[in-house]
Amino acid sequence: MATQAVRIVRQGAITQPGRFCVSPDTEKLSMQDQELIALANQAREKAYAPYSRFLVGAALLTKDGKVFQGCNVENASYGLCNCAERTALFSAIAAGYRPREFEKIAVTGNTEAPIAPCGACRQVLLELGGPELEIILTNLKGDIKTTSAGEQLPDAFYLQPD
């Protein structure tokens, strides 16, 4: 994986309603996590977002060490758009990986606080990654929040596939 410097900002709790805290342990990110964030930033640059101009990138690490990048892809019919997180996960599934064969995913966008996945992505992250899937949320300023798929979608909807 290509390495790139990642600026890590330490922040305290954000007290505005509806906002979340940035992890106080961000300076402890592993080199692997920093590389994953760099790859998510790289994927962001490939996004096709001519309508919203809101570019999002993701980098998904499999348990055997392979990385799948994803970016958001828009369409004039907004219902046909796809988010970066789902693009990365769907690419991995299309390449032969099965649900829960993923270790972590980094997601980035140009947001004030670390980006937050949409509801559809939270459901897909949970089903394909499992509740323990580590999620690293970041932004272009270098703010970082680490969480899990289970934390992102409490009281989730589950079906048992055949």
The catalytic site residues sit at: 85
Q: Which amino acid is located at 68 in the chain? A: F
